A and B are shown apart, each in its own frame.
Chain A
Amino acid sequence: MSFHPNDVARRARMSSWALVLGFLFLIGAFFKTQVIQNHQYVMQSEENRLRPIPLPAPRGIIYDRHGEVIAENLPAYSVSITAPSVDSLRAALNELAGTLQLEPYQINAAIRRYRRAPTRPTVVLPDASIDIVSVLEEHRLDFPRLIIQSVPKRYYPDGPIVASFVGYTGEITESDLNDPKYASYKPGQEIGKAGLEKQYESILHGREGVRFDEVDARGRPVRGEGPRPDLNPLGAPPLYTNIDLDLQKFMVGIFADSLQGGAVAIDPTTGEVLALYSAPSWDPNKFTGGIPADYYKQLLDDKRRPLVNKAIQGRYPPGSTFKLATSVIALKDGLVGLKEHMPVPCTGGLQYGSRYFRCWEKKGHGSLDLEGAIKHSCDVYFYQLGLKVGLSRMIAGGISLTMRDKSGIDLPEENQPFWPYAIDYYNKKYGRNWSNAETLNLAIGQGANSQTVVNMAKFYTALATQGQEARPEIAHLVPQRKQIYNLSQQQDSVLLEGLKAVLEAGGTAGASAIQGLTLAGKTGTAQNSGGADHGWFVGFAPADHPKIVVAVLLEFGLHGSRAAHIASAIIGHYLKVGPIQAVMDEG
């Protein structure tokens, strides 16, 4: 071995340089990481240790026109859990299943929520009972990743009474999250699912807050950060509606448990919806935070179809209530004189071609003018009036009277009514094989015509205000009115007199008259191929200065007189007049 001192000294120098270079390299690497890239790593370190816990914001309170509460928020407790992986979540849920009384579907729902947003605490129970919460609080240390939060829970003090228009809230679904409309929403958040809650979601939804918990590497919270007022949840402003809760309750009371159908009350001068109900109803309080499977099944199995909103979704042939539309179409084109009688007097029916068209009154009405025909709802008169108008004018007239349009009420579920778009509709449907008999059907509100209750109410706002149709609105503040027809004063007054006469002695709803109040309205019978006919009544009062339009449809109500009875009671209650003069007269 070469151990000459000079050699050793040379190697020692080389070694020392190698050592110095090696350490300079390390120190340089640390300088780069710690001083130059410091900011980036500080952020990563913060992200590691601070976990955001979302704080749900209370939804806006919904009031009726007098400041009565329709929808509010109650304090509730939600139980969520944080987990580093699906497996660990599943294990934790299985461990907690006994304590939390978790059903398998709740476990699956929690896992779905986790997959969608693994970094957010996964909601396990959106609305935990106080019993569960107190048990969990006792065992807090055993389940360090559990987050028990006080959250606002939607509550409707009047439950089923307001369900038809207020809707309900629920957890945002997978498909909602894919909708660009909900781009800013996170899984587990509560959104409006139906009714006003859905329609005004953007107003009613507050700004979610956030708090940061310091967590360790296993995601166990170590301590909470101090309060950050800028990150507190921000409640939404209240929503003031046009609903008259007192009238709504009265309307619901009248339907009671036995009747089914829909009803709408509108102020014709503004379009403000005063009440809207579909019977039977359901309890929106049971819907918040997940619909219990058995309750949902019970609603689905109910033959009365409570989940179909009969005021805005159900479509029914308008029957005789439509004769006013036929009248308006004929009058505005000058096709009928005010005192004009039809060529064939009513003898209980009309022979047209090879078919015999019946009048509802087998005994016949004799020869009538327009006012009389409205009062008695004479089919034979309107068959002939329809023939005078002709099919194409009839269809065009219906379109201009918005029979093809949604009413535009501020509820997302409204269905579009049905009305032919042109004669072509019949060509498409029957080939060339259809007869003018369709005209006769349309003229009395049958045939290719089905309307929602709210759309008929909307048409009657025009009848109540000389053609100024008002868009029904539950919450909007600016009235939206549109002149849908122009008639002379005499023409208008003939129609009005006819409608008044309906509620006078001898009229089809004469039994529903109210002492001291002039009512105007029209009964109707919607032929129902699937069972007993549906009964209609649409009317308004006071007849000369209308303040309220009410449309009522009774499913399987046979004839409009019962519907008229309900409507007149609602009107009477609203205008503080009553009691109802005559006893109910079945017809």
Chain B
Amino acid sequence: MSRPIVSDYRLLAAAGLLSLFGVAMVYSAGQTDTPTAVAHAYKSQLLWLIIGLGFAYAVTHSSVRFIEWMTVPLYAFSVFLLALTLVVGKGAGTAASTKSWLAIGSHRIGQPSEIAKVTVVLMLAKVLSERRESARSLLDLWKPALIVGIPWAIIMLQPDLGTGIVFIGIFFAMLFWSGVEWPLLLLIASPAISLILSFSVGLWGAWFFILLALVLWYRPYLIEGIVLMVLNVATGVIAPIMWEKLAPYQQNRLKTFLDPTADVRGSGYHVIQSKVAIGSGGLFGQGYTLGTQKRLAFLPEQHTDFIFSVVGEELGFIGVAIALSLFLWLFLRITQVAERANDSYSSLVAYGLMSSWFVHVLVNVGMTLNLMPITGIPLPFFSYGGSFMLASWLAVGVLMRISGEGRGSALSLRGY
């Protein structure tokens, strides 16, 4: 099982630099004028990074085939853990009322949803790679939909809107990578789009006509076309009812996203303080560990959800640009790995893992500037949290292995 491996140093460098950057920011997040427990967070974060590196090293010595063989049991196990959270789950951080944590007594062990993000990617890759042709109709997609749908439903029951968004992002990205054409993707997404647009009758009406034109042009099976249109109408109608069903904190988050100043002291507080922190950073920032918004505790969740605001406040636009460039570098590199992977399973796994991180970065970083609603999803390699750090480095290990087994030699990849 253990084979020699030619490392993908660029991938390793991007992920490693991001992790070191992240640990440094977790350390800074703990540097407040009134000391809190966060002051020690960087130590355990560093420990989890080292453990993650160990796991990653181990994974690089396994093989993609072994991972593929393990996919089904891993997926089943992670879904089981997820289901367990509904029974014994605990909340934490900005989402204290949810049940995303698995805990024994008051001691939180980890978030199964972080593991599920990886196993869902593996499982989707397995199912999608088994098909010879790309999916042409909605019926062809029942299996992938189910694979994502089961853990997604559990996560929405916890409820954890942010992680749910990540799963949907993974689903669409991997369908795209498997060759599903974009009109079909749009048709699949159409009920969700209806859901969002239903709050404005005019917008929804316009969308309905676009959809109709799309259906007539793409010509899915008649029955599918009808089902789609009915679904769109239905979601449009039930959206207001679903809004009522949302927990008040979720409603507040969405309302806050639309207008943070509506409730400055309440749910708008986080976003406003985050924007103030980032905006006051300027070009060069207030200096590492010196951000006043963070030091004086105006910035909430400064070591987890809003850690990127600390980057903005203390290291300024330059620091932000460096961090985002590192992410972009990593993602472009993974896209390359996916493109040159030996087989469709490996390729889909690589692309799926990348898309998962991309959704995290987009939503988390966007949230700090109020470009996205506050959903409480962490920033990969930055946000304090053991499960995510471990899962991320497991993913890095998998990607290294895929890269090493890639088409042509690893040497040719390096020369790209």
Residues of B within 8 A of A291 (CB): none
0/1 interface trace, chain B 307-347, chain A, CB 8 Å (1 if under)? 00000100011001100110110011001101100001001
B144-186 CB contacts (< 8 Å) to partner A:
176-179
Residues of chain A within 8 A of B293, CB atoms compared: 45, 48-49
Whether a CB of chain A sits under 8 angstroms from the CB of B34 is: yes
**A2 contacts B366, C-beta separation under 8 Å:** no
Given A16-B335, A20-B328: A27 in contact with B321 (beta carbons within 8 A): yes
Nearest CB to that of B178 among chain A residues? A1
Task: Establish whether residues B331 and A216, one from each chain, have CB atoms under 8 Å apart when the complex forms.
Answer: no
B280, A19: Cβ atoms closer than 8 Å: no
Q: Which of A29, A42, A220 contacts B280 (CB 8 A)?
A: A42
Q: Which residues of B contact A15 (CB under 8 A)?
A: 177, 335, 351
Shortest beta-carbon distance from A26 to chain B in Å: 6
> Is B362 in contact with A41, judged by CB distance below 8 angstroms?
no
Question: What is the bound-complex CA distance between A2 and B280, given in angstroms?
Answer: 49
B339 proximity list for chain A (CB < 8 A): 8-9, 12
CB-based contact A7/B279 at 8 Å: no
Q: Which of B46-54, B91-99, B130-138, B243-251 contacts A (4 or more CB under 8 A)?
A: B130-138
Which of B80-88, B221-229, B234-242, B270-278 makes up part of the contact surface? B270-278
Contact with B along A15-39 (1 / 0, CB 8 A): 1100110110011011101110110
Question: Contact mask A23-67 → B, CB, 8 Å, 1/0?
Answer: 100110111011101101110110011000000000000000000
- Distance between A338 CB and nearest chain B CB, rounded to angstroms: 85
A11 to B355, CA, bound (A): 13
CB of B365 within 8 A of CB of A26, answer yes
A220 touches B34 (CB 8 A): yes
- B304 on interface, CB distance cutoff 8 Å: no
B interface size (C-beta, 8 A): 53
Q: Beyond A45-B293, A48-B276, A214-B296, is A34–B358 a contact (Cβ under 8 Å)?
A: no
Is the C-beta of B39 less than 8 angstroms from some C-beta in chain A? no
Q: How large is the interface on A (under 10, 10 to 19, 20 to 34, 35 or more residues)?
A: 35 or more
> Which B residues, 285 to 304, have Cβ-Cβ distances below 8 Å to chain A?
292-293, 295-298
Contact with B along A247-270 (1 / 0, CB 8 A): 000000000000000000000000
Cβ–Cβ contact B132 & A1, under 8 A: yes
Find out whether the CB atom of A33 lies under 8 angstroms from the CB atom of B278.
yes
A41 touches B134 (CB 8 A): no
Contact of B332 among A11, A19, A44 (CB under 8 A): A19
Which residues does chain A contribute within 8 Å of B336, judged by CB atoms?
12
Query: Does A1 contact B131, Cβ atoms closer than 8 Å?
Result: yes
Binding site for B on A (CB under 8 A): 1-3, 7-9, 11-12, 15-16, 19-20, 22-23, 26-27, 29-31, 33-35, 37-38, 40-42, 44-45, 48-49, 214-218, 220, 222
Q: Give me the interface of B with A, judged by CB distance under 8 Å.
A: 32-34, 128-129, 131-134, 176-179, 273, 275-283, 292-293, 295-298, 312, 316-317, 320-321, 324-325, 327-328, 331-332, 335-336, 338-339, 344, 347, 351, 358, 362, 365-366, 369, 371
Known interface pairs A30-B312, A35-B317; 7 further A-B residue pairs with C-beta atoms within 8 A, sorted by A's residue number: A2-B179, A11-B179, A16-B335, A23-B328, A34-B317, A41-B275, A48-B276
